Amino acid sequence: MNIPILGHSLCLFFPPQLTQLMTSENQTMVTEFLFSMFPQLQEGGLLLFIPLLLVYAFILTGNLMIFIVVQLDVALHTPMYFFISVLSFLEIWYTTTTIPKMLSSLVSEKKTISLTGCLLQMYFFHSLGITEGCVLTAMAIDRFIAICYPLRYPTIMTPKLCIQLTTGSCLCGFLLVLPEIAWIATLPFCGSNQIHQIFCDFTPVLRLACTDTSLVVIVDAIHAVEILASFLVIALSYLRIIMVILGMPSSESRRKAFSTCSAHLAVFLLFFGSVAVMYLRFSATYSVFWDTTIAVTFVVLAPFLNPIIYSLRNKDMKDAIGRLLSQQRGTRGAGR
């Protein structure tokens, strides 16, 4: 029997959806995905493993140090440092959703991830990323009130409000992504299982689905509106802050205000700059090399720079770290 003629007859007598179901029955359903971008161990995987491991160790150590110092030092019990400690705590988990799997893929022969593991990685990666964006928005509002309305700042930015803003950020991050992940979990994957990226992300995974995924355009538009809304709130806040600072009569006041906001502005530009290049490309397409480079910047470089910006360039934080280390030395000395 002529198979092409049979296939053509099927298309005539059955609807396309049923035809697709019948022709895909003989295909094996995908239960795990393969990361095709990682080199083999003998092809340079170890050379990439060592620096990535050091970067990951620095990210964990730096952010954990910031979180502990803010919790222990009474001088840092302010709304600004509260939000910095929350951001550092989120960065620890944000990087942990991707980098450990990247490290194992660099040194193992089997560079795969299960379908469930892939969905969980996407969920926590994007949930924590959105939560960070919301926390950065709360930090911008905090600096806006502190500089533009200094007399009302203590009565507005209360500990209760800080906790409410943090809780709202977490709820926003972990609920917004849930419908999309639940929808992807229902899709059939029965073709290629090679993900052309260094971690599980929406677009690379949806390309492997053997069904119509045009609905993702609507979801992407919603996420784009969320990102742009946060960006506009933060950008307008800092624009107003800069105008107020420039209007200050004292150069010392201007210098102090700028030094306070410069770290927040740097993290804001780094975070939303990488987000924009990664997810607000619209119809633009990049080569596999540039896609991977952008992903490394987004997943590794930005979290690596955050502890440096918030600790090495912040006098209060450096002083607090110095006090904590000196207390530890004093405790050890007394124990001897």
Residues of 161-174 as b/e, b for ≥16 C-beta within 10 angstroms?
A: ebeebbeebbebbb
% of the chain with per-residue pLDDT over 90: 44
Strand order in the sheet with 112-114: 112-114, 32-35, 194-195
pLDDT score at 282: 57
Which helix or strand (DSSP H or E) is residue 33 part of? strand 32-35
Among 1-5, 49-53, 248-252, 293-297, which is the least confidently predicted range? Answer: 1-5
Is pLDDT of 284 > 70?
no
Task: Name residues whose C-beta falls within 8 Å of residue 286's C-beta, 6 or more positions apart in sequence.
Answer: 294
pTM value is 0.85
DSSP per-residue codes, 159-198: HHHHHHHHHHHHHHHHHHSHHHHHHHHTS---S--EESSS
Tell me the longest C-alpha to C-alpha distance in the chain: 91
| CB-based contact 149:244 (threshold 8 Å) | no
pLDDT score at 44: 74
d(CA 246, CA 165): 29
State the CATH architecture for 32-316: Up-down Bundle (1.20)
Mean pLDDT, residues 280-287: 64
155-202 tens-digit pLDDT = 999 999 999 999 999 999 999 899 889 999 999 998 889 998 899 998
Burial class (CB in 10 A: 0-12, 13-18, 19+), 63: buried
The CA angle 318-322-327, to the nearest 5 degrees, is 150
CB atoms within 10 A of CB 102: 24
Q: Which residue ranges make up each domain of the chain?
A: 32-316
pLDDT score at 290: 78
33-67 tens-digit pLDDT = 999 888 877 777 788 899 999 999 999 999 999 99
Mean pLDDT, residues 21-42: 72
